[in-house]
């Protein structure tokens, strides 16, 4: 009954903490991923962990979930030293993990996913029946309703995440670790998730939230720990800190969270899109008549939940996908479905494209950085040597120059693409596309998985390009990013533009409703 007393009142924690780490260290070869980490997480609290990519958050959580074994240090669960050599032990110790990339079997039902690995018996039928009862109960207790017989692949991302939480609760988890849980959610879904987490906390569950969104940390955590370069640099009460202070702790220097930019001075219209329609491979219409315009010297931000046609818009403008309708660049009609619809023709026309999925479309991860900076422009005369050969020396020199100008770390041109962190990969791509001085820059999810320090840098580059009188079409699922960068905001929902807003005259609530397909001025869409 000791648990009851502590419910929702971290102050009453004369009890041992739910988790205590003492001096955890872990090295991968020469890289010290975690160095002497000690932290206590009180029972019945929500504890945030923030840090840049590569700060060691994931390693630490992997140690806690039995993926890795720490080189040294001790884990105490509920005050008792506990060895966690594998995931099974972590589950037995009451730890549940909701990964950033869900670990679900897409063509299994919700029930099958929930019981996988916890079937208590060689036959499935009893386990399925038990899970069905449990799910009904959990749905009532925590607003965690999902159809137990639905196939996971048919569920929305928000519901899939609930399945992950249900999996952990079905295994009687007392401690729930969530890794970047809101990255894929709409604002409304994120609010729902926070209500669920609040309910779990009320029931005495302990929650560890790993995120890079400082706003969420401020909103729902009780305490927050900051990691930097493998070390735990601070653990503070959330009420006694601020986003600015946390950002400074994470990066180790002062960081500008808001983008510093002058008002836009838009000029002539560069891009005109009229009634653009795109069908996917299954014949489903993904863009249902999109019309928009982008002028020189302005950033048009496209907000929306992932999967509402933004990707298709970027792809068809970038020449990767085909569509119907009219697109004019500087008054010249672009080929949307014929032979002239390809990336090379678009580049020649003056469009640069920083694709959303940088690891698949932006880079070849197994190729060196100097090879990657030439992709798309490999025919440029300065990279050529004679009629048939590439001038590799020129490529290397160019790459080193870009690395210096865009602060790519480490600045080693011969390093393979996959050896760079997400932020540095992005800087390489942005350098490649921006330095060609395009009339129009298409940029998708510019800072997904990018460190705070690099975000600031990339944002500055985008604004600088705008100030140079270029047109920029920005697609991002991060509302903060859309709000701080854009000069105008278009919200996409279900393949259509739901509305245009002025960033100074709108707010997250209004945009969130538009993203969910609800237009206040017109009623439900």
Partner 1 sequence: MDLPTLLQILDSMIRLGAPLLLACLAGLFSERAGIFDIGLEGKMLSAAFLSAAVAFVTGSVWLGVLAGLVAALMMSAIHGLASITFRGNQLISGVAINFLASGLTVLLGQYWFALGGRTPSLEGAARFMPITLPFARELREVPVIGPIYYELISGHTALVYVAFALVPLSWWLLYRTRFGLRLRAVGENPAAVDTAGVSVVGIRYAAVAICGLLTGLAGAYLACGLSAGFVKEMTAGRGYIALAALIFAKWRPWQALGATMLFGLLEAVANRYQSLNLWGVPLPVQFMQALPYILTVIILAGFVGKAIPPRAGGQPYVKER
Choosing from 4, 11, 125, 253, the residue that interacts with partner 1 (CB under 8 A) is 125
Choosing from 72, 88, 202, 337, the residue that interacts with partner 1 (CB under 8 A) is 88
Query: Could you tell me if 227 and 56 are in contact, meaning their C-beta atoms sit under 8 angstroms apart?
Result: yes
Choosing from 18, 46, 97, 270, the residue that interacts with partner 1 (CB under 8 A) is 97
Q: Closest distance between partner 1 and the C-beta of residue 285, in Å?
A: 21
108 near partner 1 (CB under 8 A): yes
Choosing from 23, 83, 86, 467, the residue that interacts with partner 1 (CB under 8 A) is 86
Of 55-63, 227-235, 400-408, 504-512, the window that binds partner 1 (rule: CB under 8 A) is 55-63
- The H-or-E segment that residue 370 falls in is helix 369-372
Query: Could you tell me if 429 and 403 are in contact, meaning their C-beta atoms sit under 8 angstroms apart?
Result: no
443 near partner 1 (CB under 8 A): no
173 near partner 1 (CB under 8 A): no
Q: Closest distance between partner 1 and the C-beta of residue 150, in Å?
A: 16
In eight-state DSSP terms, residue 499 is E
Contact partners, residue 196, CB within 8 Å, separation at least 6: 142, 143, 144, 162, 165
Q: Is the CB of 91 or the CB of 313 nearer to partner 1? A: 91
Of 12-20, 86-94, 440-448, 494-502, the window that binds partner 1 (rule: CB under 8 A) is 86-94
In order of 157, 294, 326, the CA distances from 333 in angstroms are 37, 15, 7
Choosing from 13, 76, 116, 188, the residue that interacts with partner 1 (CB under 8 A) is 116
124 near partner 1 (CB under 8 A): yes
For partner 1, the binding residues in 143-172 under the rule CB under 8 A are 167
119 near partner 1 (CB under 8 A): yes
- Using alpha carbons, select from 466, 366, 381 the residue that is nearest to residue 417: 366
Query: Could you tell me if 289 and 476 are in contact, meaning their C-beta atoms sit under 8 angstroms apart?
Result: no
Q: Is the CB of 11 or the CB of 120 nearer to partner 1? A: 120
Q: Are strands 95-98 and 80-81 parallel, antiparallel or unpaired?
A: unpaired
339 near partner 1 (CB under 8 A): no
- Using alpha carbons, select from 169, 126, 119, 127 the residue that is nearest to residue 144: 169
Of 100-108, 212-220, 293-301, 389-397, the window that binds partner 1 (rule: CB under 8 A) is 100-108
Contact partners, residue 347, CB within 8 Å, separation at least 6: 353, 376, 377, 436, 438
65 near partner 1 (CB under 8 A): yes
Rounded to 5 degrees, what are φ and ψ at 318? -80, -5
- Helix 392-405 and helix 422-434, axial crossing angle in degrees, nearest 10: 110
Q: Closest distance between partner 1 and the C-beta of residue 99, in Å?
A: 7
174 near partner 1 (CB under 8 A): no
59 near partner 1 (CB under 8 A): yes
267 near partner 1 (CB under 8 A): no
Distance of CA 175 to the CA centre of its chain: 24
Q: Is the CB of 9 or the CB of 418 nearer to partner 1? A: 418
Choosing from 4, 123, 387, 522, the residue that interacts with partner 1 (CB under 8 A) is 123
Which tokens sit at 451?
Answer: 């460190």
Which tokens sit at 339?
Answer: 């032979």
- Sheet with 95-98, strands from edge to edge, namely 95-98, 175-179, 206-210, 46-51, 223-228, 231-237
Around Cβ 33, how many Cβ atoms within 10 Å? 23
Q: Is the CB of 123 or the CB of 133 nearer to partner 1? A: 123
Furthest C-alpha separation in the chain: 81
For partner 1, the binding residues in 206-225 under the rule CB under 8 A are none
Q: Is the CB of 131 or the CB of 270 nearer to partner 1? A: 131
263 near partner 1 (CB under 8 A): no
Q: Which residues of 450-465 are buried (b: 16+ CB within 10 A; e: fewer)?
A: bbbbbbbbbbebbbeb
Q: Is the CB of 87 or the CB of 419 nearer to partner 1? A: 87
- Using alpha carbons, select from 439, 428, 426, 376 the residue that is nearest to residue 405: 428
Q: Are strands 46-51 and 72-77 parallel, antiparallel or unpaired?
A: unpaired
Count of residues near partner 1 by CB under 8 A: 34
Q: Closest distance between partner 1 and the C-beta of residue 26, in Å?
A: 11
Choosing from 12, 105, 256, 348, the residue that interacts with partner 1 (CB under 8 A) is 105
Under the rule (CB under 8 A), what is the footprint of partner 1?
58-59, 62, 65-67, 86-91, 97, 99, 103-108, 112-113, 115-119, 121-125, 127, 167
């Amino acid at each position: 009954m000791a648990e009851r007393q502590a419910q929702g009142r971290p102050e009453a924690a004369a009890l041992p903490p739910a988790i205590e780490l003492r001096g955890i260290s872990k090295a991968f070869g020469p890289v010290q991923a975690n160095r002497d980490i000690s932290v206590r997480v009180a029972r019945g609290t929500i504890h945030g962990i923030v840090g840049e990519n590569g700060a060691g958050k994931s390693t630490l959580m992997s140690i806690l979930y039995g993926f890795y074994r720490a080189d040294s240090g001790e884990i105490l669960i509920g005050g008792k030293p506990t060895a966690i050599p594998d995931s099974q032990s972590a589950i037995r110790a009451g730890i549940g993990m909701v990964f950033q990339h869900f670990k679900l079997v897409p063509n299994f039902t919700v029930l099958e996913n929930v019981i996988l690995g916890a079937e208590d018996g060689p036959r499935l039928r009893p386990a399925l029946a038990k899970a069905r009862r449990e799910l009904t109960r959990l749905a009532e207790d925590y607003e965690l309703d999902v159809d137990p017989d639905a196939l996971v692949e048919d569920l929305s991302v928000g519901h899939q995440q609930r399945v992950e939480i249900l999996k952990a609760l079905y295994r009687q988890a007392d401690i729930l670790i969530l890794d970047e849980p809101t990255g894929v959610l709409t604002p409304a879904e994120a609010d729902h998730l926070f209500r669920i987490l609040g309910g779990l906390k009320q029931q005495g569950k302990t929650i560890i939230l790993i995120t890079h969104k400082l706003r969420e940390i401020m909103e729902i955590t009780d305490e927050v720990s900051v990691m930097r370069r493998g070390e735990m640099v601070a653990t503070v009460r959330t009420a006694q800190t601020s986003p600015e202070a946390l950002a400074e702790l994470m990066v180790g220097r002062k960081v500008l969270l808001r983008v510093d930019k002058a008002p836009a001075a838009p000029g002539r219209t560069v891009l005109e899109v009229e009634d653009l329609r795109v069908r996917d491979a299954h014949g489903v219409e993904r863009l249902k008549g999109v019309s928009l315009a982008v002028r020189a010297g302005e950033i048009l931000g496209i907000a929306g939940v992932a999967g509402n046609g933004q990707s298709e818009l970027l792809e068809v403008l970038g020449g990767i996908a085909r569509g119907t309708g009219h697109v004019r660049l500087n008054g010249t009609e672009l080929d949307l479905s014929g032979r002239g619809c390809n990336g090379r023709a678009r580049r020649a026309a003056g469009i640069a494209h920083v694709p959303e999925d940088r690891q698949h479309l932006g880079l070849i991860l197994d190729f060196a950085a100097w090879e990657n900076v030439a992709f798309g422009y490999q025919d440029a005369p300065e990279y050529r040597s004679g009629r048939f050969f590439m001038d590799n020396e020129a490529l290397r020199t160019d790459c080193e120059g870009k690395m210096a100008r865009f602060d790519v770390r480490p600045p080693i041109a011969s390093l393979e693409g996959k050896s760079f962190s997400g932020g540095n990969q992005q800087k390489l791509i942005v350098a490649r596309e921006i330095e060609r001085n395009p009339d129009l820059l298409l940029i998708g999810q510019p800072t997904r998985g990018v460190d705070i320090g690099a975000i600031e840098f990339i944002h500055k580059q985008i604004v600088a390009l705008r100030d140079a009188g270029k047109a920029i079409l920005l697609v991002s699922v991060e509302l903060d990013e859309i709000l701080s960068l854009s000069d105008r905001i278009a919200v996409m929902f279900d393949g259509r533009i739901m509305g245009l807003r002025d960033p100074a005259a709108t707010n997250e609530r209004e945009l969130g409703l538009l993203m969910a397909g609800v237009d206040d001025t017109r009623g439900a869409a």
